Chains A and B, each alone.
Chain A
Amino acid sequence: MKYFLGFVKKEFLHIIRDYRTLMLLFGLPVVMILVFGYVIRNDIIDVNVAILDHSKDEVTMEITNKILSSDFFILRENIDKSADIDKIFRTGKIKEVIIFEAGFAGKLEKYGSAGIQLIADASDPNSASLVINYTQAIIADYVKGINMQMSRPLQIIPMVRMMYNPELKSAFMFVPGTMAIILMLVSAMMTSISIVREKEFGTMETLLVSPLKPIHIILGKVTPYVLLSFVNAVTIILMGYFVFGLPVRGSVILLLAESILFITLALSLGILISTFSRSQQVAMFISAFTLMLPTILLSGFIFPIENMPAILQWISYIVPPRYFIVIIRNIMLKGTDFMHIWKETAVIFGMASFFIVVSAVKFKTRLE
């Protein structure tokens, strides 16, 4: 135990003395949560549209005004012939063209029906379908408005309640995810490097001939980083609360305990990577390539997992942040207790133990 404490103290000194890295360690998460809390949004605002109005009458003006006054759309250009559509899409700014057919108001009055054509630039399909959906909803609303006068019998009135996030704020979705990503990547990268560094410098030999057991070396490497990452986790939760108004509806203690568990998982994954790699460069590339994109894409952070193809849904089961994101969203936004998240917790616990055991076994006590 005495040896072990001495080793932990040595690791702490290593980290604290390198003030440049320490600054990055604490500074980056703060900057990142600020940037992402503001930047990552998936709602539609201020989409550039062009309007091709063959009719230019009172009704088309009304519909145009209704669309443009909705905050979702900004009129970039009025065009007057269909041949221009391709040209304005090619320059890249316009996302949607709204076309009113000729004699719009007259047809609507006379036949009770008139046509609008929407053309979206689907080179970004995700936002194209959103843009079309939004425009359709606005037009439908307008139509409902002009038919208002008639009394409709047998109405079913839906009372819709948006649970947990009544204002539909994007930050509610993305801040917990960002927290998982930062903790995962920062912790795994830090530790994956720390062991390999000793190998590269040759100081590993010194450690190996010392009376420390492999498991002690590994735990000793992890312990200081658990504390540092925990500080990061607390900073992020506080910033979520004060900057983005993200509530913590559940138990704070539970939230912190789950964070520590997840940090341990990320760190042990880092250790595992380090036992496999021979140079810092390799360790870094493995953690950057195999962790960064999959963590962003397969964790449910931005894209809902249930919409992915079945194979990817299976792969996502081994992406650790997937479980942590569910846990923090549940505790912070839904205010759930442990009973509703014990499964996710058990998975994280199991993964962490697995990584630690494998790294202790793989950890070579001899140099090649």
Chain B
Amino acid sequence: MRTIAFILYKEFLQIFRNRTMLPIIFVVPVVQLIILVHAATMEMKHIELYVVDNDLSETSRKFVSGFSGSPFFILKNAGFSMEEARSAMLENETDAILHIPAGFEKKLYTLNNADIQILIDAINGMKAGLTGAYISAVLSRFNKELLTEKGGTRYISLPVKNVMVDYSYWYNPQLNHKFYMVPGILVILVSMIGLFLTALNIVREKESGTIEQINVTPIRKFHLLAGKLIPFWIIALMDLGIGLALGKIIFHIPIEGSILLLFSFAGIFLMVILGMGLLISTMAGTQQQVMFIVFFFMITFILTSGIFTPEESMPYWTQKVTLLNPFSYFMRVIRMILLKGSGFKEVYKEFAAIFVYGILVLGLAVWRYRKVA
């Protein structure tokens, strides 16, 4: 026990003496949390529309004004040539082109129907799909207005069956995406700190040769590893605490469930992360290699965790593979506890899974670690 205490003392001294690392460990994550939480919104509010109205009739003008009244569209450009409109789309100056051909009004009133052309930049498929849906909503509203206005008695209104759809968003009625992103980004930052610090620490001693000095001391492997891991465990949990406090103060994220439960889950989760860090450091020879491997794991874990893109959208087999992603457990649990107030009863499966995971990874790492050069 005393040996561990000494190693802990040494490690903490090293961490706190390093003036460049300290701000990186504590300040950078906080700044990132504050800034990046705002970025992750899928809300489509500013769809830029290029209008090519070759008809310039009363009806076409009224139709176009239906778009300027919609909160989703910005009428950014207008012109008379499709060539120019297409060129604007090539330059990303517009998201969609609405083309009303000449003779639109005349055709509508003589033939009873008329075409319009809509071109949507579909590189972002989801955005394109929504754009299409919003455009047809504006269109059908206009159609209805036209019918009541011009139709008059000519068209007897037939009984129309209608289904009223009413919707509500639970746990986050204003669809405040920050409530969703703060916990997610916290998970990323805490793991990033834990993984990088652990993985680099031992490899650095290897590279600079100081590991041999420790190897020749009578310190046991377990003592050494405990002394190496505990400081980072504490630092990562501290980062989590700071992040939560800031989330509460700045973003007013709800904390419905028990903080104690959250921290105990985080503690177990960090076993997996620190274990991985240790495992990487037993396999890598240089800090450069460590960085590549850690970077690879981080970015894979982040992007498959379902934080930025929904987990259900992934193909079936990758959904199974993400069972191996510790991030997705923690993301799920931290949101359940914070936003829905889930208790231990509801998250015990994740607890069990991450506990077994932690034992396996940490066990493997400790077993692989050799106190020889």
Contacts and interface: CB of A to CB of B under 8 A. Distances in A.
B133 interface: yes
Contacts of A190: 288
Contacts of A350: none
A28 B292 contact: yes
A40 B90 contact: no
A193 B287 contact: yes
Given A123-B336, A296-B308, 13 more contacts: A31-B296, A41-B309, A92-B346, A116-B163, A126-B177, A128-B175, A137-B133, A154-B108, A156-B113, A189-B292, A197-B287, A303-B40, A306-B48
A321 to B, nearest CB: 13
Contact of B312 (A95, A161, A308, A330): A95
Contacts of A124: 180, 310, 335
A35 B300 contact: yes
Interface residues of A, number: 124
A281 B135 contact: no
A90 B91 CA distance: 46
Interface class of chain B by DSSP: helix
A64 interface: no
B195 to A, nearest CB: 10
Give the size range of B's interface with the partner. Answer: 35 or more
Contacts of A90: 336, 340, 342, 346
Contact of A41 (B32, B300, B314): B314
Contact of B122 (A142, A165, A336): A165
Interface class of chain A by DSSP: helix
B12 interface: no
A289 B123 CA distance: 29
Contact of A289 (B29, B200, B342): B29
Interface of B: 20-21, 24, 28-29, 32, 35-36, 38-46, 48, 63, 87, 89-92, 108-109, 112-130, 132-133, 135-136, 139, 142-143, 146-147, 150-151, 154-155, 158-173, 175-177, 179-180, 185, 188, 192, 196, 200, 204, 207-208, 284-289, 291-296, 298-300, 302-304, 308-310, 312-316, 318, 332, 335-336, 339-340, 342, 346
A345 interface: no
A308 B38 contact: yes
A241 interface: no
A239 interface: no
A312 B39 contact: yes
A166 B124 CA distance: 11
